[in-house]
Amino acid sequence: MLSYNHLFKIGLIGSLCGLLAGCLQPMYGGLEGGELRSKLAAVRIEPIPERLGHYLSNELGFGLNGTGSEISPLYKLTIAAKERVEAPLVDTVSGRATAANIVVDASYKLFRLSDGALIADGVAFSAAGYDRSSQRFANIRAARDAEIRDAKNLADQIKTRLAAALQSER
């Protein structure tokens, strides 16, 4: 049997949920969600150098406009990515690294094409680890897989930040 105190708490939580239910709105839902998706699809991604830039550009292109349709751009996105390798674990006998992290900082800027105004900017960060072995080609493939994981993570971060900036822009 529930005590009066428990019933009061349940009633209070229920009434607060009812009051706040209209305040929260999904970013991609409703009529504004369609407008936001069309704004995201209208972002032109400037070429990003290096192999990591290729992966990041592909992931962002799919995340922003996964339809494959050609849409005239309204915005321009520039990204500068810096990548470094850190070796946190070293074998004390051989002196070789047994694990490594690929750390990427990607600074981005979103401009409106009509007037060149800066809409959003920031830095996204990602780190992906991989094991190293004595086999050279296995290390190369593992590092490439870590780059791909970093690119996916960065694309998700940047897409979410761009969506928030474009949602608040009217």
Domain-embedded: residue 9:
no
Give the amino acid at 167: Q
Per the structure, the complete domain to which residue 164 belongs is given by 27-168
Asked if residues 131 and 143 have their Cβ atoms less than 8 Å apart, the reply is no
- Give CA torsion, residues 161, 37, 55, 122, to 10 deg: -20
Going by DSSP bridges, is the β-strand pair 75-90/97-112 parallel, antiparallel, or unpaired?
antiparallel
Number of domains composing the chain: 1
Span 2-42, pLDDT tens digits: 666 766 677 777 776 666 665 555 555 554 567 888 899 99
The CATH number linked to 95 is: 3.30.160.150
Q: What is the pTM of this model?
A: 0.77
Cα atoms in the 13 Å half-sphere on the side-chain side of 138: 8
Query: What is the per-residue pLDDT for 20?
Result: 62
β-pair partners for 80:
107
Going by pLDDT thresholds of 50, 70 and 90, the confidence category of residue 150 is: very high
pLDDT digits (tens, 9 = 90+) for 56-111: 999 999 999 887 778 899 999 999 999 998 877 777 777 777 788 999 999 999 99
Within a domain: residue 160? Answer: yes
